[in-house]
Amino acid sequence: MKSKQAPPHPAPLEAHLGFWLRFVSNHVSLRFQQLLEDRGVSVTEWVVLRTLWARHETSHAELIQAMGMTKSAASKVVSRLEQKGLAKRQLADGRSREQSLVLTASGMALVPQLAALADANDGHFFGHLRAQERQALMNAMQALVKHHQLQVIPTA
């Protein structure tokens, strides 16, 4: 007769790298979310603002692709940014019926301020690390993104 062996004890949560990644990520994200909300902007709106800031004008299709969002979700975010006076839809250059998305002057002025909050948040969590350690952490995260072909920008 075979003797039944007790199942192996599962490793504690703290033994998993994913636990620590999630633990740190959640705290970094929550603090940044609170900093943005104090300025009247959500994380998703920040990512869209930053994406639009990097381009002169962006089509809906380009924004949807860059953000990995559905058409409906992207449209809702753009509408919220329009209501806040931070972005607008306009006729695309040289195309009489296609719309493009651009930042307003207020949106252009706000993005560097929000980027400074992102920098300060990074400094809060990672500023105690030596530059070499921060770069090694960044390289490791980028290697994971590349290896797993991760493409959707996290917004939540």
Per the structure, the complete domain to which residue 113 belongs is given by 24-147
Task: Count how many domains the chain has.
Answer: 1
Neighbours of 19 (CB within 10 A): 13
Identity of the residue numbered 19: F
pLDDT exceeds cutoff 80 at 51: yes
Structural domain contains residue 13: no
Structural domain contains residue 50: yes
Structural domain contains residue 101: yes
Give dist(CA 129, CA 23) in Å, integer: 18
Rounded mean pLDDT of the chain?
A: 91
Structural domain contains residue 116: yes
Structural domain contains residue 121: yes
Average pLDDT of the segment spanning 90-99 = 71
Average pLDDT of the segment spanning 37-55 = 93
Structural domain contains residue 6: no
Structural domain contains residue 53: yes
**Which residues are bridge partners to 100 per DSSP?**
59, 90
Give dist(CA 9, CA 90) in Å, integer: 60
Structural domain contains residue 104: yes
Instruction: Report the CATH number that the domain containing residue 55 is assigned in CATH.
Output: 1.10.10.10
**pLDDT band per the 50, 70, 90 thresholds, residue 2:** low
Percent of residues, the chain, with pLDDT higher than 70? 94
Between 111 and 59, the higher pLDDT residue: 111
pLDDT exceeds cutoff 70 at 94: no
